Amino acid sequence: MSHRQTPGRRVVITGVGVISPIGIGRETFWTNLAAGKCGIGPVAHQFHGAAAVPGGFVGAEVADFDEKTARELVPKAQRKSIKVMCRDIQMGTASAMMAVADSGLDVTSVDHDRIGVDFGANLMYSPPTQLNDPCWNCLDDDQQFVMQRWAHDGLTKMEPLWLLKYLPNMPACHIAIFVDAHGPSNSVTQNEASGNLALTEALGVIQRGAADVMVAGATGARLHEFKVIHAALWGELGYRPSDPAASCRPFDVERTGEVAAEGACSYVLEEESHARARGATILGYLSGGGSSCVAGNRRLAAANAIRAALRSADLSPDDVGHVNAHGLGSPEIDLEEAQALHDVFGSRGGEIPVTSLKGAIGNSAAAAGTLELAGSLLALQQGVIPQTLHCDQPDPACDVNVVRGEPRSTNLRSVLNLNLTRFGQASAVVVQCDI
């Protein structure tokens, strides 16, 4: 699936809002990314872990984000709503408002019918302790749970707005309220493919003339009891006993799996003439997006998504300056992704620069793609490609040109961002800083 450009309606990026394990705000995020800071380590702020290790858990946590931070970032009139948001939603809404502020967009003066929201999220779960009192209240004298008592004695002990705290469509709902958006609104829940899908849908909305401004992004807080169990059951969790911070090793010959993480990243997308009319700073052009789902064949899904994104942008593989890869750190998935890159780029498959940011920020699933794209977008403002951490010995079986050690200078200011899920869903977007 791809979206083709509509003549005369080019889509630009004018604002970025980042909440990541290596910093909050795009300036801090880029400074730390360029310096090679790693956000992976023992998780101490809350019980949310990725891999059981002696003395704690390894994950990529945003330790300096809490409810107080979220309240400070959202509109004053809406701060009371923070208490009915779980951590995923708080991060997502906060990053969206950071993007709006970064863009300089005055949401009180725009045509509210011409602004919309497209946002990705993971499935959300309440903490298991949330059910403690309701369940205990349904025990009989023998301490056995009695289901017949649940409606009267159990459910009534739940938080009145419990469900609203954990619905994955709520980030888009809250953001639409915050910016008074009356235009198209959608929510995407496709795990790691979500971020690029949200951007691609927002791109299509603007291209077909249904809106002039879209707030698009994704959020994901995987450092949660249930989500960690799911990650352990469904995939490989990376852990390096000698250096826990290096537990995620994209494309490295010694990679052992992913590291669960949290974060959020949002963008303000605008039709180019709308942005120029208000004197906005243009950070880049969202030129195309594509997606594919091939159950049981991630390699083909990834190749399909890349080709669809390039068709959408009316570009050839030779026009891509670098690839910001999914780079999960999984022995199997990294190899399949590398094979997909060779399928699309042919003889250039081992030459085109490839980076992955998961060695620094882990895998927040839905938010991973938008965070990774931000890394490339901000790097290209400086004429460089961000480096991949902990790829000390690139796997010759993958045969990709991994950017490592330090950011690499580049004259080609364009990036293809790719993400895929373990189930064979893939999404890609193309961003150019020069057109």
For the four alpha carbons of 142, 146, 150 and 151, in that order, the dihedral sign comes to: negative
Task: Tell me the three state secondary structure of residue 374.
Answer: helix
Let me know: does 423 contact 295? Beta carbons within 8 Å.
yes
Please give the span between the terminal C-alpha atoms of the chain, in angstroms, as a whole number.
Answer: 24
**64 and 139 housed in the same domain:** no
Burial class, 211, CB count within 10 angstroms (exposed 0-12 / middle 13-18 / buried 19+): buried
What HEC string does 173-198 produce? HHHHHHHCCCCCEEEECCHHHHHHHH
Residue 256 belongs to a domain:
yes
The pLDDT tens digits for 289-302 are: 999 999 999 999 99
User: Bridge-partner residues for 322, per DSSP?
Assistant: 415
pLDDT in the model for residue 50: 43
Q: Binning pLDDT at 50, 70 and 90, where does residue 55 land?
A: very low
Residues 91, 151 share a domain: no
Q: Give the chain's domain count.
A: 2
Whose CA is closest to 185, among 198, 172, 195?
172
Is residue 6, in this structure, part of any structural domain at all? no
Residue 53, pLDDT score:
46
Token pair in block for residue 210? 């249904």
CA distance 60 to 19: 12
Say which amino acid occupies 309: A
CA distance 349 to 372: 20
For 151, which DSSP code? I
Spatial contact of 354 and 415, defined as CB atoms under 8 Å apart: no
288 and 139: one domain? no
Residues 239 and 381 in one domain: yes
Q: Is the pLDDT of residue 339 over 80?
A: yes
Residue 52, pLDDT score: 47
Let me know if residue 297 belongs to a domain: yes
pLDDT at residue number 196: 98
**Nearest of 84, 46, 38 to residue 65 by alpha carbon:** 46
Strands (E), 111-240: 115-121, 185-188, 213-221
Give 226's contacts (C-beta < 8 A, 6+ positions apart): 125, 128
Q: How confident is the model at residue 231 (pLDDT cuts 50, 70, 90)?
A: confident
Please report whether residue 4 resides in a domain: no
Q: Which of 33, 181, 120, 169 is nearest to 368 (CA)?
A: 120
Which residues pair with residue 309 across a beta bridge? none
Residue range 255-276: mean pLDDT, rounded: 97
- Say if residue 101 is in the same domain as residue 197: yes
CA distance 410 to 389: 19
Residue 366 — φ and ψ, nearest 5°? -55, -40
Which of these ranges, 18-22, 127-131, 270-274, has the smallest mean pLDDT?
127-131
Q: How far apart (Å, rounded) are the C-alpha atoms in residues 173 and 168?
A: 10
210 falls within a domain: yes
Q: Two tokens at 253?
A: 């010959």
Cα separation, 170 vs 84, whole angstroms: 10
146, 161, 176: which is the final residue of a domain?
A: 161
Q: What is the pLDDT of residue 128?
A: 74
For residue 87, give both structure tokens: 């951590």
pLDDT in tens, 126-167: 777 778 888 999 999 999 999 999 999 988 888 777 778 889
Average pLDDT rounded to a whole number, residues 181-206: 97
CATH of the domain at 70: 3.40.47.10
- Among 136, 161, 186, give the residue marking a domain's end: 161
Instruction: Please state, in angstroms and rounded to a whole number, the distance separating the CA atoms of residues 291 and 305.
Output: 4
The beta strand positions in 222-317, using DSSP E, are 262-271, 284-293
What is the total residue count of the chain?
435
Same domain? For 15 and 152 the reply is no
Whether residues 212 and 156 fall in one domain: no
Instruction: Give the tokens for residue 305.
Output: 């998504």
Residue 103 phi/psi, 5-degree rounding, is -75, -20
Look up residue 204 and give its amino acid.
G
Which of 113, 140, 161 is at the close of a domain? 161
Is the residue at 3 inside a domain? no
d(CA 112, CA 209): 14
Same domain, 102 and 27: yes
Does any domain span residue 1? no
Q: Which pLDDT belongs to residue 45?
A: 55
Q: Which is nearest to 395 in space by CA: 306, 324, 329, 303?
A: 329
Whether residues 265 and 148 share a domain: the answer is no
What is the extent of the structural domain holding 359?
11-125+165-432
**Tokens linked to 424:** 């064979």
Minimum mean pLDDT range among 44-48, 160-164, 195-199, 381-385: 44-48
Q: Are residues 42 and 149 in the same domain?
A: no
Q: What is the DSSP letter of 238?
A: P
Integer CA distances (angstroms), 318 to 104, 210, 293, in order: 34, 32, 25
Count other Cβ atoms within 10 Å, centred on residue 98.
24
Instruction: Find out whether 29 and 18 touch, Cβ atoms under 8 Å.
Output: yes
On the 0-12 / 13-18 / 19+ scale of CB atoms within 10 A, 35 is exposed
Indicate if 344 and 217 belong to the same structural domain. Answer: yes
Residue with tokens 């942008």: 313
Residues 321 and 418 in one domain: yes
- pLDDT at position 56 is 55
Residue 207, classed as helix, strand or coil, is helix
